[in-house]
Structures are given as structure tokens and as C-alpha cells.
Structure 1
Amino acid sequence: MAVRRFVIVGYDAAELLDIACVTSSLIGANLHGAAPPYEVCLATPGGHPITCASGLTLQAQEALERITGPLDTLMVSGGIGHEAAAADRLIVAHVRRLARESRRVASVCTGAWILAAAGLLNGRRVTTHWREAQDLAVRHPEVVVDADPIFIRDGNVATAAGVTSALDLTLAFIEEDHGVETARWVARHLVTYLQRPGNQAQMSMFTAAPPPSDGLVRQIVDHITAHLDADLSTAGLAALAGVSERHLTRLFLKHLGRTPGRFVRQARTEAAAHLLASTTLPMTGVAARCGFGTTETLRQAFVAHYGIPPSQYRLTQSST
């Protein structure tokens, strides 16, 4: 192809950021000299303008039904209008048609519902916004829904978790198409983190839920997050709380859904990720500050949680 034709499917009440994160990233790649460049097109039913969930109106560049292949990438946006879009036979039929003519097919957020309605996710592992994941799994039992990662690639189909994860997925596409240097330039141009690994969790444990309602659990959680390099064994934490290890474990399972040991390990790993992305501390320093006895222990925890070693995580996150 002389250009990489990248078609984004929009509809009424689509999420503006689901579209803008993609288009701005691709145009950024073009500004950096991507060859062949991306030809970006927003396609809507009938080519009509769409009113996004934010209330802003976007002008389409082409009617969805007039688009023909071959395409480099077909991406379906998400938004609060996803259910109506997934029930629209015209939208679903043309998405199914264009998917057959595309090298890559993708969705952002609840755009996965439209791909599922078109039968394009059957038997595939996919993700969507964490708030909608269970509903998608119930309505489409033939789809393997994983609510944790920010994006998943299964064959030539990719699904992103929602909103700004569209940026991460698009940066991954740019890196695949034009190399890591172009993806790094685009990330710096957008003043954002470099591409987060796709299997990074959508929600950090520090933001995923409100503080536990139980006062004792809240006290121990506060102690853990403020003293990551201290003795945080279950025995030590139970002694601090003045309860038995068994009782503390029961409380953590009830209020946090995980044992004290698992909570500590995740807290340390996420803190290490923050240090790796935001400081130049050597790996030994990161391990010590976060309570890992050795860099090997840090590496094992990181691979288990993020799927990549800490050295690779730092490489993808550092803009230096």
C-alpha cells in the first residue's frame, strides 16, 4: 500500500477520547515521517456527523457503507452508545464485511460489543472496560473476556480496555509498523508515558477500590503502603494488629479479596513499577526501597504481575 488505510468506526454517543487518542497518535507518526504514512478516516453510518458522549459533534469523513478494502486497520470505538450500535444491523454487517478486508481489526473499550455482535471475537481472549467486562461475558459466552489487561492481541484482533488505553494500543501498532523510535517520538510528542505493556492491569490496587471499611484492615493497609521495606510478613502484621494470623487473613479476604501476603506482594510490585518509570534508581535500589530482598525476587514478582521483567518495563517507560 502507498498508505496505511486506518478506518475508525464511530456512531452516536461514541467516546470522543476513544477516537482522538487513536487519530492524534497516528497523525503524530505521520509528522515524524512514518512511511508509508497513515491515511486516517472516521467512518459513520451514512457518513453523518455524530454527537459524542461528551456532547461534541464530529464530522465524518466517509460513510461506513461506502468504505471498501483493502484496509490496514479497522478500529471500532467505544462509548455509551455501544449497545445501540451493536444492535444496529447496518453497523454490524459493515464491520463484519470490512474485517474480512483488513490486516488488523481492533476495538477500544465497549467497541468490543460491536465486534462480538459481528462474530469476530468468538473463541478469542479479549478485554474491554473493567466496568462492562462481566456484562460482555454474560451476553457473549462464546468470547473469553479478561477484564484485567489494558489491551489484548489475539491473532489479528486487538481489544483495548477503554479511553486512554486506546493510546497504548495505537502506540503498539505504531511500534509494530514503524519501529520503536517512531513510537517513542509520538509518545513524547503527546507528553505521555511510552507504551504501557498490554498486560498491565487496568486498575492499580491503590485506585481500584475505596479504602476498606474495616478499621483494622485500613490500619494495616496504611502501614503496608507506608513501610514497604519493613517486615510485612503475615505474622508481623498480625502482631501489629493484635490478632491471630488466621483472623487477619480472614479479614483481608473479606474486605480486599486477597491474603495479606498477596496484598503486600502486589503493593511492592506496583511501587517498584512507579520507581522504575519515574526515577533512575538502580535495580538494587528499587528492590531495597520496595522491600524485595534481592533483584531476583523483584524480577520474579514483576514477571508474575506484569508479564515482563523490570528491566524491560523501565525501557518501555523511560523517555530518557
Structure 2
Amino acid sequence: MAKTIAILALPGVQLLDVSGPLDVFAQANIEAGKTVYALQVIGCQRGPIASSSGVRVLPDRIAGESDERVDTLLVAGAPNAAELPISNANLSWLRNTATRARRYGSVCTGAFVLAATGLLKGKCVTTHWAAADALRQAYPGTTVDDEALYVRDGKLRTAAGVTAGLDLALSLVEEDLGREIAMRVAGQLVMFFKRPGGQMQFSRKGETHPAGRSVLQEVQRWVVAHPELDHNVGSLAEHAGLSSRHFARLFHAEVGTTPGAWVEAARISAARTMLESGHGAPKLVAGKCGFGNVDTFRRAFAKHVGVTPAEYRKRYVSSAFDSD
């Protein structure tokens, strides 16, 4: 008997949060040579569901109108998922259906909807990196991993932003049908079987921006303009016209981090821009961004971004033009 995969699509849903996972499961049916998965889109009310792109999705059924059990229930995300008004009846249906399912979860900001049911309390989850802090604040009883592409916690499965829904769906296919079929699905869909790194390689969350009083902002702008210089506390304090001790305390109090940590983040941000533009191999970028050697640069970059500088550069520079 086919396993029912149901995706709850809310008004304003991100279309790829729905279509991406469904395509993975549909391809798994083809690779398996039989209908392993029966696919459904569930709406909260009758009529087409307008997605964030304007494309309309016609749901197969409406939440609460039947007692049909599902094998796997996923909640797709939407740009405004955290603010969507969802009726108590729909939340109750979602809670009951998820509890009865073999597994349940969310894609991207669909985690906010699941959290509203209480199902994420005490659980470890992920969501889009840009929404992670908001999810933590709104639901402090939930542990949010903003680095992972997808997280498994018991019968709960959550995926990070948008395309990570494909990674999650492929992992579910591997759970059900094994590695060989999952690899064939990945090959047909031209996607990574196991995508290297986490979602922080796509994040702009760690980018530095001037903060604090004007004298501190001037120092920060100086660092951004000249990342290659030796920006120790003494030199930064001198540039600000303050003592080293007073500068360090003031910087931490108003910017929220140490001068050294801020400088490192600014250098990484500069390095990302250079690597994305194809301006030099990692060794050259390390020197231009103030790192003493390429090994120090590699470790710092991997800590902030989750992949090495060389791996990151490959995302943006075509091998046809890469002579390094």
C-alpha cells in the first residue's frame, strides 16, 4: 500500500517548499518502478492557494474535512508564516494528524506553524537561517539549529530554507527505500545526494555593520575599508583616540562583541565578497583580508561559513574560467 505524503500549503506558500519535495517523492516512484508514495497537497480552506510567486495551487483536500491518515505530514513555509492567522480548528487538525502520522515535519518557515501546535516544545529543529532567531524568541522551549540543512528528532523532521526541502525529502526516500534508489533520484534531479556544508554558507546573518557611538562606527568603517591592516586593540583604540582598556570595554558594551571578534567577522565578510567575485585564489584573498597565512584563513572561514574558502569559491566561479 502506498505511503501518503501530505504537504500542508498555507496562503502565500513558497511554491518550491511544496513542489520541491513532491518532485523528489514522485521521482522515487519512478526509480522504484511502483507507486511507493501517494502525494497530496492539503489546503486550509476551499479554493486555489495563492503562492508567494502568484502561482496558484489547487489542493487535493482540505484540512479537517476527512479523517484520512497520512504516513508523512510536512508543513510548507511562507514568507509571512510567523504572522499567518491560522484557526484553532486547523491547528487542532494539524496536531492530531501529525501525532498519528509515522513522521511529520516542516520545510523552511513552516516550523512556525508546527510550533504553534506545541509539537516542537522540547524538540531540536531547523528553519531558514534568517528566521532562526525569531523562532527561538517566539518558542524558547524549542532548540533551533540554524546551521543544519535538515534535522531529525524522533518522528519529527525539519528542513532549513526553501531548497533544503529537497534535501529533507531525499533523506526520507533514503530512509524508506535505501541509498541506491535515493542516489538515483538525486542523479535524475541533478542535485547533491549529500549537499556539502550547512546553510550558513548561504547566510548573510554574520555580516558586520557599523554600530555604537560615532567614534566606534568610524573605527568599524576603517576596518571594513582596510581589512588587510593589523587591527589589534591598540591600533583601533589609537584610531579612536581612546585608551586600549577604555576602547575595549566601550566596544563590547555598545557593539555586543569584542573588537577582535568583530574584526575577524569583517575580514570574513570581505573574503566572501572577493571569493564570490572570483578575485583571486584563497591564498591571495587571505593576504588581502588581513589573515597571517592561508591555514589561519581556512580555519576562520570554515568556522564562520561552514565550508572552506576553496569550496565556497567553487559555488560562484565557473571551472571554465578558474585557472587557480
TM-score scaled by length of structure 2: 0.71
Instruction: Please give the residue correspondences for 1:1-320 in structure 2 after superposition, counting only pairs within 5 Å.
Output: 6-11=5-10, 14-16=11-13, 18-23=14-19, 27=23, 35=31, 41-51=40-50, 58-65=57-64, 66=66, 68-71=69-72, 74-80=74-80, 82=82, 87-94=87-94, 96-98=96-98, 100-102=100-102, 105-109=105-109, 111-128=110-127, 136-137=135-136, 140-145=139-144, 148-149=146-147, 151-155=149-153, 157-159=156-158, 165-167=161-163, 169-173=164-168, 176=171, 178-179=182-183, 182=187, 185=190, 197-200=198-201, 202-206=203-207, 211-212=210-211, 214-279=213-278, 281-314=280-313, 320=319
Task: Say which SS state the counterpart of residue 299 (structure 1) adopts.
Answer: helix
Percent of aligned pairs with the same residue?
27
The answer to whether the Cα contact below 8 Å between 1:6 and 1:40 also exists between their aligned partners in 2 is yes
For residues 195 and 222 of structure 1, what CA distance do their matches in structure 2 show? 33
Counterpart amino acid of 2:15? I
Shift, 1:235, TM fit: 1.4
Query: Residue deviations 1:210-262, cap 9 Å, x none?
Result: x4362222221111112111111121222222222223223322332111100
The answer to whether the Cα contact below 8 Å between 1:196 and 1:317 also exists between their aligned partners in 2 is no
The answer to whether the Cα contact below 8 Å between 1:116 and 1:122 also exists between their aligned partners in 2 is yes
For residues 81 and 306 of structure 2, what CA distance do their matches in structure 1 show? 33
Counterpart amino acid of 2:71? P
2:322 corresponds in structure 1 to none
For residues 45 and 87 of structure 2, what CA distance do their matches in structure 1 show? 16
Query: Residue deviations 1:126-160, cap 9 Å, x none?
Result: 345678656654554432245x5475514364445
Counterpart amino acid of 2:101? E
User: Which has the higher Rg, Structure 1 or Structure 2?
Assistant: 2
Query: Residue deviations 1:186-226, cap 9 Å, x none?
Result: 69xxxxxx88723447443447x6x4362222221111112
Aligned pair in 2 of structure 1 residues 260, 275: CA closer, same or farther (>3 Å)?
Answer: same
The answer to whether the Cα contact below 8 Å between 1:278 and 1:318 also exists between their aligned partners in 2 is yes
The answer to whether the Cα contact below 8 Å between 1:171 and 1:183 also exists between their aligned partners in 2 is no
Unmatched 5+ stretches in structure 1: 188-193
Counterpart amino acid of 1:35? E
For residues 242 and 94 of structure 1, what CA distance do their matches in structure 2 show? 59
For residues 204 and 156 of structure 2, what CA distance do their matches in structure 1 show? 23
Task: Say which SS state the counterpart of residue 35 (structure 1) adopts.
Answer: helix
For residues 25 and 196 of structure 1, what CA distance do their matches in structure 2 show? 20
Counterpart amino acid of 1:173? L
The answer to whether the Cα contact below 8 Å between 2:149 and 2:167 also exists between their aligned partners in 1 is no
The answer to whether the Cα contact below 8 Å between 1:220 and 1:241 also exists between their aligned partners in 2 is yes
Aligned pair in 2 of structure 1 residues 175, 94: CA closer, same or farther (>3 Å)?
Answer: closer
For residues 277 and 92 of structure 1, what CA distance do their matches in structure 2 show? 46
The RMSD of aligned alpha carbons is: 4.2
Shift, 1:309, TM fit: 3.7
Aligned pair in 2 of structure 1 residues 235, 92: CA closer, same or farther (>3 Å)?
Answer: farther
For residues 283 and 255 of structure 2, what CA distance do their matches in structure 1 show? 30
For residues 289 and 30 of structure 1, what CA distance do their matches in structure 2 show? 48
For residues 118 and 188 of structure 2, what CA distance do their matches in structure 1 show? 31
Unmatched 5+ stretches in structure 2: 174-181, 320-324
Aligned pair in 2 of structure 1 residues 34, 186: CA closer, same or farther (>3 Å)?
Answer: farther
Shift, 1:51, TM fit: 4.8
Task: Say which SS state the counterpart of residue 97 (structure 2) adopts.
Answer: helix
TM-score scaled by length of structure 1: 0.71
Aligned pair in 2 of structure 1 residues 54, 308: CA closer, same or farther (>3 Å)?
Answer: closer
Number of aligned positions between the proteins: 301
For residues 316 and 55 of structure 1, what CA distance do their matches in structure 2 show? 29
Counterpart amino acid of 2:88? D
